[in-house]
């Protein structure tokens, strides 16, 4: 008896396995970009209601990762609110930019007069210049011991408050868009399903085939 080539058996097994997985994934777990199967819908259902019923929460979560203000409300079909949130976010960004332009160049602390004794400065007037503040911690034998604390350059100017306000506006805008956007999607889906779910009527019809010896029931869904 001729022995079957094991390579052919492996290829047949993998082809059957992969085809089964692809068919199962298409049927039970369709991808976001795949075509939606066509199902009968009530004649009185509007296109807007059809869109609301088919909005996916997973798609909304994916879009919400994009840092664009109002994008979640836009996917929820709330285009007017999405535009408002977008312009609010732009206003916050403009506040940060304007506030940054009003800030002065960062400088080291004031060391005029006796204030110079409060700091230890290394590599003066060089690129790697480092400042430490002298903080007294103890006195021994009439001499004061200090602890050195790193000091950085500080910016000054009237733009600090504007920058903080812009950050708060952007953060609040994103939180509102995501939280209430998800809520709006869920609310719209529930409204459509509740409205047309009440109109659904089920009818049963017995099916009997004496020749084949089979019996069953046909379930019909009407609106």
Binned at pLDDT 50, 70 and 90, residue 182 comes out as very high
Q: Is the pLDDT of residue 3 over 70?
A: no
**pLDDT higher than threshold 50 for residue 1:** no
pLDDT at 54: 85
> Is the per-residue pLDDT at 12 higher than 80?
no
Q: 110-118: long-range contacts (C-beta < 8 A, 24 or more apart)?
A: none
Q: Which residue has the higher pLDDT, 183 or 119?
A: 183
146: nearest Cα among 133, 158, 159, 135: 135
Question: Looking at residues 162-180, what average pLDDT do you find?
Answer: 93
3-state helix, strand, coil in the chain (%, to 5): 50, 20, 30
Q: What is the pLDDT of residue 25?
A: 45
Least confident range from 16-30, 101-115, 198-212: namely 16-30
What is the band of 206 on the pLDDT scale with cuts at 50, 70, 90?
low
Q: Which residue has the higher pLDDT, 136 or 94?
A: 94
Average pLDDT over residues 73-89: 94
Looking at residues 84-109, what average pLDDT do you find? 87
Tokens of 141: 């034998």
Q: Where are the domains of the chain?
A: 42-104+159-222, 113-151
β-partners of residue 216 are: 207
CA-based torsion, 169, 172, 174, 177: positive or negative: negative
Q: Which residues pair with 150 in a beta bridge?
A: 132
Across the range 13-42, mean pLDDT stands at: 54
């Amino acid at each position: 008896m001729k022995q079957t080539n094991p390579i052919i058996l492996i290829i047949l097994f993998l082809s059957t396995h992969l085809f089964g997985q692809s068919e199962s994934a298409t049927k039970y777990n369709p991808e976001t970009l795949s075509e939606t199967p066509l199902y009968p819908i009530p004649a009185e259902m509007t296109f807007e209601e059809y869109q609301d019923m088919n909005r996916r929460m997973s798609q909304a979560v994916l879009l919400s990762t994009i840092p664009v203000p109002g994008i979640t409300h836009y996917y929820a079909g709330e285009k007017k609110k999405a535009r408002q949130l977008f312009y609010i976010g732009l206003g916050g960004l403009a506040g940060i930019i304007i506030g940054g332009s009003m800030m002065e160049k960062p400088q080291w602390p004031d060391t005029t007069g006796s204030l110079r004794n409060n700091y230890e400065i290394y590599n003066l007037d060089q690129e790697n210049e480092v400042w430490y503040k002298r903080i007294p911690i103890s006195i021994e034998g009439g001499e004061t011991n200090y602890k050195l604390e790193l000091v950085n350059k500080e910016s000054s100017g009237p733009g600090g408050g504007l920058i903080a306000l812009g950050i708060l506006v952007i953060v609040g805008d994103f939180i509102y868009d995501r939280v209430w956007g998800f809520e709006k999607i869920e609310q719209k889906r529930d409204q459509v399903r509740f409205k047309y779910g009440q109109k659904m009527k089920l009818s049963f019809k017995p099916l009997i085939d004496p020749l084949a010896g089979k019996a069953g029931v046909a379930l019909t869904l009407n609106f």
